[in-house]
Chain A
């Protein structure tokens, strides 16, 4: 018989995987990986603020993520810097401010490791409610705005000309990412949040025949990865958050092995490097 906390962890992980997969497809298609990293750095500032004002961590992380997203939109229209430079500025400002704020709060003892790598075994029923509530919200919004989001992803100008309101879609996507980051922080931790978004989508890409198919596959693969990582961590007594990401890596490597896909991996790493450099 499995322990209660383990079952809670699986339920929470499944909830995150269900939304992170489909949303992760957009992260991959739109090359937003670095944006995800920026939001996760900002998540630490959210944690600091939550401790300082004694408010809910998830809410604080969400608010800071939204703030950072909007700051990015504003800076992009005002400052003559490329998006990746702006993201770097924002990410490290948020991280540094978060660290400084934490150091001031001598009265709180913070389990920094828990925030960095997640604490999935400590999820409470309340956390599960937040994850599934937030996740359901994200999925509903994603389904409703799927068409305009997708059109804007393929080509902004066509979307704009043909009345799909791409600007609105961009803001929706940023908000959804903020929600997903806030709810998945507890599962894999600040450092590994982006992996929940990217890995399932990247693995699904191998087998997908269409965009919607890829989103569905990514959700399923995300769940498999969470289960794989959780049972692995139980078996080998390893930290759960990193174990989930290790499971994802293994899954990715296995699915990428067939000879015909060799070229694709090469392309993928080039693309990834290019995105980082951008």
Chain B
């Protein structure tokens, strides 16, 4: 505090007033005992809530910390006794091992990575496109069977891909969607929850905008792409994150529908690592693998969480 004061210019009058008002507001907030939802400032009284959440925070955080430190642990320390959470020395050995192990199966690690990146980005782009188109039709257009279709879609949120794996297997093979890049993408394109969230968000767009654009002679495609899409960015970002998770973490397609090793993706390759050997080196590699899967997920979420929270405000099912 003291250092900053030395080279700080004297406060302007408006600034002084602003600060005084802020102080007053803070004092008023502290005095108010009734409602504490979404408090504007941090206050020591909130500490009890932090403490309440603390055990859960630790439980959720520890494995993540552990996996990060495990990934950088030297081999000798992986199975050291007593076990330590933090490594005493950091190495990239595990990363190197992972890259080398991959090349022994004949398919380089980079190939799995490439497949994952291609299939994930295509899944995101396509599911966003068809999902937002459908959401637009739900929110703005009128057509027969709209209501039952939306109800069906809402119901389908519950039907997780895992629960219909068996018929999907039959569907995939009868459509010839095995052993190619499309097998990674097409089954993931139907994302009921994505359509649902986008539609709910689109419902917040003022109808006047739609009417005005219509009067100005815009057709539906123009309204969709020029008016509505820019306004529902938070929802699109949220769906993007969900699509990313669905595709990037997906090991099932590779193990069921793809025989060609060169067309499989990272999570599959990693799952063979974890399930296969129990050698010490594999432990380190598996940690690196989990890290590689996990980090893009969390980075994406941290960068875009504001959009997600924004979208979730309209996520309610009635």
Are A and B associated in one complex?
A: no
Give A residues with C-beta under 8 Å from B: none
Give B residues with C-beta under 8 Å from A: none
